[in-house]
Chain A
Amino acid sequence: MENTCSVEPKAFINERQGSIIASGKSRANIHCADDSLAGSVSQRACVYCGARVVLNPVTDAVHLVHGPIGCATYTWDIRGSLSSGSEMYRKSFSTDMKERDVIFGGERKLAVCIDEIVMKYHPPAIFVYSTCVAGMIGDDIVAVCKLASEKHGTEVIPVESTGFSSGNKIVGYRAAADALLRLITPKDGVDVKKTKKLNFLGEYNLGGEKWLIEGYLQEMGVGINVAFTGDSSVAALKQAPGASLNLVQCTGSMHWLAMRLEEEFGIPSMSVNFFGAENTAESLRRIARFYDDEEIIRRTEILIEREMGRILPGIRWYKEKLVGKRAAIYVGGAFKAVAIIRQLRELGMEIVLTGTQTGKPEEYENLSNLLDEGTIIIDDANPAEIEKFLIEQKVDVMAGGVKERVLATKLGVGFVDHNHDRKECLAGFDGAINFAREVYITTCTPVWGHIRSPFNMEAADGSHDE
């Protein structure tokens, strides 16, 4: 593969140099566990955000943010997770800390807020999230939650997601996993019946993805016990210990929880990946093999053959249009990056840049092996870097989140949404074709023909403002 970047990729800020490598060439490890660097415009969010993203899809729980108002405003109805039942999770509750609470402590107000919520809604559970300010003034949310639980006889679960302990969302995933464990661990005397069904970890039902996969599994003869956490309810989550297998989809957010579920309840886990047709087929086969049942295996093969036959002509059509186009990927975690790389390759595209907000060293190693020599890999990128590489690498399309979208379109580069608030179903066989279509409509839109003007050609030569 030819690569326009002959020298080592350069960062604008020297301390960021270690966070950018070229695959294959540099054996040096990428720096990725660092906190975001002060003054660079990081795309990372906060611990609270990470926790919220994982727990938010629990549909009938109340999500109460203990902090000043903004932390709640910004996360109101943030995800595209769909519900077949309660819509409670789409509301945004805040203790709306004021100066008085900051000075004298916010515990009293938190307790009052919980009382009000219970009175009005009687929810089966309330998740209470701690934010930076709540953490800083030392509010003891664990104690307040415990008291409230006893007082109201309902689950009031603290989520220790004080944002500043690290800018890294992974810490928040962990806080969410802790909260989930608290919720699902059976109370004394409660017995959860074992079933043949499986739990699906790291599935958030964006664009109805959980429902789609559930359909496949049903056809195979396997049932989903509960998903963590897409379209789940508090009661269903409490049945989680009864599963006989845990599927783990997004390792970043759910690996640790799967480990704990194995330790506590003896449920084995299996990594799956439903992004892309090949990945989907492979994952379904592995699930079928786990059950070791002729009938399930037979049905699985029928399903795969039928679905593949249905979507392949479409994929081939898109591939013809997309072959040789240059793609960049910048997403939250390495799991997603790997899945997208594979899918874009299935469409005949070249990957010239890959980055994540929260990758771990092993994951970057893995990415580096997967990619062609010279492909740029970048951790916790800032807009200036993304802009520079999009231009230098003559990228045709980028896959990423909302913040990257406007930058890409400003530069006349196509864009595929792959974030938490997307509305499209991108998983499974249907998702594979939806994904191909998404890539096609943005890469090959007639609009780029009108706006790839001489100015941008200049910019592509590196004469753009720095």
Chain B
Amino acid sequence: MEVMTSDHQVRSVNEDQCQMCMPLGGVIAFKGIEETMVLIHGSQGCSTYMRLSNVEHYHEPVDIASTALNEKQTIHGGEANLRKALDNVIRVYNPSVIGILTTCLTETMGEDLDLMISAYKHDRNLQGVDIIPVPTPSYSASHTEGFWSATRRIIEHYARATAETSGINIIIPHISPADIREIKRIIDLFGIEYTLIPDYSMTMDRPFGGNYQKIPPGGTVPADIARMPGAQATIQFGLTCPEQLSPGEFLRRKYNVPLFSLPLPIGLKNTDRFISVLSELSGRPVPEVLLLERGWLLDGMADAHKYNAEGRPLIYGEPELVYALCTLCAENGATPLVVASGTKTGNLETLLSPILPDACEKTIFLEGTDFAAIDQAVEDQRVNVAVGHSGGRFLTERRGIPVLRIGFPIHDRIGGQRIRSAGYAGTLSFLDRFTNALLEMKYGSYRQHCLEETRGKGGY
């Protein structure tokens, strides 16, 4: 596929990437399952790079094994390496689950993983270790699809027709551990039982202390995943999730679990929708504390509305987060002027158009794009603030545009895993950051600006 630029030119070369590769998304999903180790089937470099990206963002030791194929093995097949790798991973990490993600290389080789794994399990008489392979060739999709695919495959692997339970399912896109914890806190306030998947809120953000464990404690429990088909409903924050990869869609089709497809609870209206669904499902009124938090958010929005109206944002990153942040900015009077994602969902514009006010300026939508195209759009639209991951750092260096770090990867600032933007409280902390970035710019330049703009123009 080619990169589409804002003036509808098509380009073959991708210049400054706005996406990561597909197995990386799968790694994060698997890290949210209890007692799981991940194995990348391919050459060593890919897995080392994925570790590095995760380590730089999460500041945690993120162990990812590799089958470390070399040239000979790519010609003769990677089965021997795969078996050896499984032996070693089991010996050193003693996991209950092994997630195997393929790479471009092994997909090109056309390895039949299912066959190899069943032969391995049979030969080793393997008990107590579940091996779940997921095809993740980066030449066909980005880390976002990798995340959804792996999550869906994990559910498909464990889900069994079970008796009805009183709980609900929560399926999340790739968000920060802090946001996962916030979503869990909100559900707990309604007293509902739930299974949230993939829950990497502890595994990718561990508190200091206790014995160091190679596989960090936490994560969604496989036995709970097995019972997901019996849930009252599924809430999936996945408006942009392609249907064939959608875990919630799978549970709905195969097990008739009602699906609430909601935007991420980031922003006032988005959080309202989440809260009202929770209220409906639990049959309980909205807890006092959430009403208070909502009140503080509204108060903050009122205080800052005039500052926010000066924002001319670019919002980029993974589609689900981009969607939620766009609605947040729009509801505060800062209409996004450039909306971009390295991932190609095909529906961002359709989804967002109705909520963007009919301003005189038209928003530019870029999907499957790169930063060269984004940079051009930023110039055309006179963007003055950017919201997204570290990939946009050049906008500050070259154009002096502040970049509010959110999403993945954040490698040039600390604390990406602790950025909380979900719920009313999280929305308010994001909004304050947004407003303050605009204020910092204003105070940094307004004296000079006024001097240049007004002096000598009064006509006397």
Chain A contact residues, CB within 8 Å of chain B = 12-13, 35-49, 64, 67-76, 91-99, 101-102, 109, 112-113, 116-117, 132-133, 135-137, 162-167, 382-384, 387, 402-403, 405-407, 409-412, 451, 453, 455, 458-459, 463-466
Contacts and interface: CB of A to CB of B under 8 A. Distances in A.
B69 interface: yes
Given A38-B66, A67-B104, A165-B70, A95 B12 contact: yes
A45 B71 contact: no
Nearest to A35: B70
- Chain B interface extent, by class: 35 or more
Ranked 9 nearest A-B pairs via Cβ? A46-B45, A70-B21, A39-B85, A39-B88, A167-B44, A74-B49, A113-B13, A38-B85, A96-B14
Chain B: interface secondary structure? Answer: mixed
Contacts of B214: 383-384, 387, 465-466
A42 B105 contact: no
B195 interface: no
B145 to A, nearest CB: 13
Given A45-B48, A76-B17, A92-B15, A164 B43 contact: yes
Interface stretch (B51-59, B121-129, B163-171, B223-231): B51-59
Given A12-B92, A163-B43, 8 more contacts: A39-B39, A64-B13, A70-B20, A76-B391, A167-B43, A383-B61, A384-B92, A463-B211
Nearest to A451: B208
Contact of A167 (B68, B85, B89, B138): B68
Nearest to A48: B45
Nearest to A385: B92
A13 B91 contact: yes
B64 A41 contact: yes
Contacts of A465: 211-214
Given A36-B44, A164-B74, A403-B51, A94 B17 contact: yes
Contacts of A98: 1, 139-140
18 contacts: A39-B85, A39-B92, A45-B45, A46-B44, A68-B104, A69-B21, A69-B139, A71-B46, A76-B17, A93-B14, A97-B139, A99-B139, A101-B139, A132-B105, A165-B70, A167-B45, A387-B214, A406-B60
Contact of B138 (A49, A70, A75, A411): A70
Given A38-B66, A45-B44, A46-B43, A94 B88 contact: no
Contacts, number: 232
B108 A73 contact: no
Interface string B84-118: 11111101110000000000110011000000000
Interface string B277-304: 0000000000000000000000000000
Interface of B: 1, 3, 11-17, 19-22, 24, 39, 42-53, 55-56, 59-61, 63-71, 74, 81-82, 84-89, 91-93, 104-105, 108-109, 137-140, 142, 206, 208-214, 391
B446 to A, nearest CB: 30
A42 B209 contact: no
A113 B370 CA distance: 14
A146 B50 CA distance: 33
A75 B48 CA distance: 12
B188 to A, nearest CB: 28
Contacts of A459: 211-212
Contact of A403 (B24, B52, B93, B105): B52
A464 B14 CA distance: 46
B92 A132 contact: no
Nearest to B2: A96
Contacts of B67: 38-39
A458 B211 contact: yes
Contacts of B1: 96, 98
A166 B104 CA distance: 17
Contacts of A72: 14, 17
A286 B77 CA distance: 52
B414 to A, nearest CB: 12
A453 B65 CA distance: 30
